Structure 1
Amino acid sequence: MSKDRSGTRASAVLWDGVRRLLEGCATGSDGQRRCSVVDLGGGTGGLAVRIASLGHTVTVVDPSPDALAALAQRTAEAGVAARVRGVQGDATDLAALLPAAGADLLLCHGVLEVVDELLATLRAAAGALRPGGSLSLLVAQWPAAVLARALSGSAAQALRLLEDPDRRWGAADPLRRRLDRAAVTALAVEAGFTVTQVEGVRTFSELVPGASVGSDADLDLLRRLDAQAAHVEELLPLAAHLHLHARR
């Protein structure tokens, strides 16, 4: 389940969505909101550190001891080690690893693409959340992957993606599967969640060649374009990833 998700985690659209979910937590006596967050498959903690820096507590669940060691070092350097805990385990181990119904927010980013059992993973996530708790679910979309491969000149891989039932472009594809809005929404509902919002992540930044972004101004415009596209219904199928907000 461990993987490098630095590209998706760096998205301003994704971070903005996570911050809005964090706003649903209770306010402490000091006026600050305090969430108990679980980051499933959180790896080395790129997002966990940002969340802990806001004053929340984060439990990162990941099967890789190397990733968890890097997490410990990263949180120490960021000064948030007291608010971040690493736990070794897989998605379906959550019931044995964490208190039932103890989390306010659970992040499941880039996990459904690599696990063995999709529905079991989401049901385990539901069991770790308190009633009314929130799920942040990020998945890779296959329609966008087809378009990106075709535009990059890899027509054979684009065709393979269209023909493959798991939407993989070949044996070397690092993902076991890709999803779309209908499929991931149906899974979330079957697992007991109510989907409250769907946003597109990296709609254009995955398609625009790096050579076309020649300045900071170009990069800023591209980010603004991604931010605007995130909420345009007609453009959601073009997003490299979908970010679903859901309630238990």
Structure 2
Amino acid sequence: RLGHHVTVVDPSPNALFALERRAAEAGVADRVRGVQGDILGLFDVVERGGFDAVLCHGVLEYVDDPAEGVRNAVAALRPSGALSLLAAGLGGAVLARALAGHFTEARQALTDPAGRWGEGDPVPRRFTAEQLAELVSGAGLEVGAVHGVRVFADLVPGVLVDTEPGAMDALLKLEAAVAELPAFHSVATQLHVLGEKRP
């Protein structure tokens, strides 16, 4: 809506169909292009060095080689481009399992190299803020802001947020207040890292 041209890369034809429909409904179909592909085969569908910003959200958890995925995202950037990286946080999963009374699963997530709590875990891999920052810097970017996302939101009972007047607004303000505080990164459900490509 601000006039930017957006390319969306997704392996799912259904997701791309939904994107096309939503872009048309929003009146921006002429500025949104969807292509079928993934981060490891990125340059089969888009050009290198062609983008001012790359948003890699909810991707690294599902690829066999996260470092290669980040390198590809960086290679898609123009000089001075920015990378926005969002991935599942390890600490948030450990805390959530422990608070649910699943202490063995919490310990399993804490000690598992991929941060998984067991066979039934739907997330293949989780990260710490340090691991994500290392992936970003290792790909040649300068690490900018690091944010914790959904620090409290996934732990607060939904009935409390839905029934308590002003609770949702207060929760959002609390999330914003703690997002950049390193003390809360270790318990966030998701972690967001910004990186900048230097010319």
In percent, how many aligned pairs have the same letter? 48
Q: Distance in 2 between matches of 1:71 and 1:216?
A: 34
Aligned pair partner of 2:181 in 217, 232, 247: 232
**Local SS of the residue matching 2:133:** helix
Post-superposition offset of 1:216: 4.6
Post-superposition offset of 1:75: 1.0
**Local SS of the residue matching 1:95:** helix
2:172 aligned with 1:245: no
Aligned pair partner of 1:178 in 116, 123, 126: 126
- Paired amino acid for 1:243: H
Q: Distance in 1 between matches of 2:110 and 2:82?
A: 33
Equivalence map 1:15-54=2 (5 Å): 53-54=1-2
Give TM-score scaled by structure 2 length.
Answer: 0.94
- Report the more deviating stretch, 150-159 or 84-93: 150-159
Post-superposition offset of 1:191: 1.2
Q: Distance in 1 between matches of 2:144 and 2:97?
A: 31
Question: Is the CA contact 1:95–1:127 (under 8 Å) kept in the aligned structure 2?
Answer: no
Q: Distance in 2 between matches of 1:163 and 1:126?
A: 30
Q: Distance in 2 between matches of 1:190 and 1:216?
A: 46
Post-superposition offset of 1:94: 1.8
Q: Distance in 1 between matches of 2:164 and 2:41?
A: 46
* Corresponding position of 1:199: 147
* Corresponding position of 1:220: 169
2:6 aligned with 1:63: no
| Structure 1: gaps (5+ residues) | 1-52
Q: Distance in 2 between matches of 1:83 and 1:184?
A: 31
- Paired amino acid for 1:111: V
Q: Distance in 2 between matches of 1:186 and 1:147?
A: 23
* Corresponding position of 1:167: 115
Aligned pair partner of 2:61 in 95, 113, 121: 113
RCO greater where, 1 or 2, for CA within 8 Å and sep 6 or more?
2
Post-superposition offset of 1:233: 2.2
- Paired amino acid for 2:7: T
* Corresponding position of 2:100: 152
| Structure 2: gaps (5+ residues) | none
Post-superposition offset of 1:202: 1.0
Question: Is the CA contact 1:137–1:245 (under 8 Å) kept in the aligned structure 2?
Answer: yes
Q: Distance in 2 between matches of 1:231 and 1:132?
A: 23
**How well do the aligned residues superpose, as a CA RMSD in angstroms?**
1.3
2:39 aligned with 1:91: yes
